[in-house]
Amino acid sequence: MGFLLPALIGAAIGAALGGLVGLLMRTSDKAWAFVSTPGRGIAVGAVAGLVLAVYFATPSGWHEGNVVALTAETFDETIGGDKPVVVDFTRAGCPPCSQLAPRMERLADEFDGRVVVAKVDTTAQPALANRFHIRVVPTIIYFAGGEVVDAAEGALSYGTLQKRVKAILAEHEAAAETAAPDGPSE
């Protein structure tokens, strides 16, 4: 239901504008045949409005859910926490980023409570992109204990993401067990 209302509104606005263009174009030389009648204009406008509404209702195809949006103000505190962190450096309008977004959401759902899955919009947060020398989006950087432990570029498959997160989580849990003091000694 998240983008149903914007889709309906977009289709309605598009249909109205398309119908108006069709009405205005019906007396022209038919150069724009696809909107040369009000009916055609309504159909073309509705489709265009629907597509644009859905696109803008889900920026970069990203479904927020359990994925944390990081800013320069929240970044260091998040990666310095007691859980491993997976950060997707992304950008609106990037097709590979749109492909990766649902995989990151799925990762956030699967590892909820054990790993923080986050994103950084490189357009809105250029200082963070520069700090980590991000030249390609999407770029995934894995953190544990506030330190970079791995990185990868591109729209990775879910299996690749899951495998790497499991490995980092296992390393993190093993390190935590080693660092934990033993029980009372007798």
94: annotated active-site residue:
yes
Same domain, 97 and 47: no
Which residue of the set 43, 97, 140, 141 is catalytic? 97
Q: Which domain holds residue 103?
A: 68-179
Same domain, 24 and 106: no
Q: Is residue 63 part of a domain?
A: no
Same domain, 18 and 96: no
- 139 backbone dihedrals φ, ψ, rounded to 5°: -125, 130
Structural domain count of the chain: 2
Bridge pairing between strands 116-121 and 68-69: parallel
Which residue of the set 53, 87, 94, 161 is catalytic? 94
User: How confident is the model over 70-106, as pLDDT tens digits?
Assistant: 999 999 999 999 999 999 999 988 999 999 999 999 9
Same domain, 49 and 83: no
At 119, is the pLDDT very low, low, confident or very high (cuts 50, 70, 90)?
Answer: very high
Same domain, 52 and 132: no
Same domain, 164 and 96: yes
At 158, is the pLDDT very low, low, confident or very high (cuts 50, 70, 90)?
Answer: very high
* Exposed/middle/buried for residue 89 (C-beta within 10 Å: 0-12, 13-18, 19+): buried
Same domain, 85 and 149: yes
- Exposure on the CB side of residue 149, measured as CA atoms within 13 A: 19
Same domain, 89 and 137: yes
Q: Is residue 80 part of a domain?
A: yes
What's the average model confidence in pLDDT over 3-16?
71
Q: Is residue 82 part of a domain?
A: yes
Same domain, 13 and 51: yes
Q: Is residue 53 part of a domain?
A: yes
Same domain, 12 and 88: no
Same domain, 140 and 117: yes
| Cα dist from 174 to 28, 34, 171, whole Å | 74, 64, 5
* Mean pLDDT over the full length of the chain: 83
Distance CA 107, CA 158 (A): 8
The residues facing 119 across adjacent strands are 69, 88
- 140 backbone dihedrals φ, ψ, rounded to 5°: -105, 125
91: annotated active-site residue:
no
Same domain, 124 and 173: yes
* Exposed/middle/buried for residue 116 (C-beta within 10 Å: 0-12, 13-18, 19+): buried
Per-residue DSSP letters for 88-140?
Answer: EEE-TT-HHHHHHHHHHHHHHHHTTTTSEEEEEETTT-HHHHHHTT--SSSEE
Residue 148 is classified by DSSP as: E
Distance CA 4, CA 77 (A): 36
pTM over 0.85: no
At 59, is the pLDDT very low, low, confident or very high (cuts 50, 70, 90)?
Answer: very low
